[in-house]
């Protein structure tokens, strides 16, 4: 699918689109394609673009693979990496705990 992105759509050459996951329905009629986009600011417009052109992508897949049926494609933005980076940033801002003295020994 990544080769189809770059071969079929010049608009996608301005961004880096990574397919992070594909969830296919059991009946193979629909597939949700999770994508990560860099720069991150372009993710929403890229996902809109991919959904708008999902029929053309599906047709290109039909020509490229022997897998049938080709499911209807539904693109979603994957923000997992951005959320993880934000959480890591917040954790790094937390004050560092002071070293606690060793607990007293229980000598008897």
Q: Where are the beta strands (DSSP E) in 25-88?
A: 30-38, 72-77
For the chain, 108 residues long, the average pLDDT of each consecutive 10-residue run is: 77 85 93 92 93 92 83 91 75 76 57
Three-state DSSP class for residue 83:
helix
* Predicted local distance difference test score (pLDDT) of residue 27: 93
Q: How far is CA 42 from the centre of its chain?
A: 13
Instruction: Please tell me the pTM assigned to this model.
Output: 0.71
| 99-106, long-range: CB < 8 A, 24+ apart | none
Assigned superfamily of 2-82: K homology (KH) domain (3.30.300.20)
CA–CA gap between residue 87 and residue 49 (Å, rounded): 29
The domain spans of the chain are 2-82
């Amino acid at each position: 699918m990544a080769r189809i992105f770059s071969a079929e759509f010049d608009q996608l050459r301005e961004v880096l689109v990574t397919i992070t996951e594909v969830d296919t329905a059991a009946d193979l009629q629909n597939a949700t394609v999770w994508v990560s986009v860099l720069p991150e600011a372009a993710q929403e417009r890229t996902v809109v673009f991919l959904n708008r052109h999902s029929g053309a992508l599906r047709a290109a897949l039909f020509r490229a693979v022997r897998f049938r049926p080709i499911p209807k494609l539904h693109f979603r933005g994957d923000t997992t990496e951005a959320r993880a980076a934000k959480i890591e940033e917040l954790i790094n801002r937390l004050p560092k705990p002071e070293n606690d003295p060793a607990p007293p020994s229980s000598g008897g």
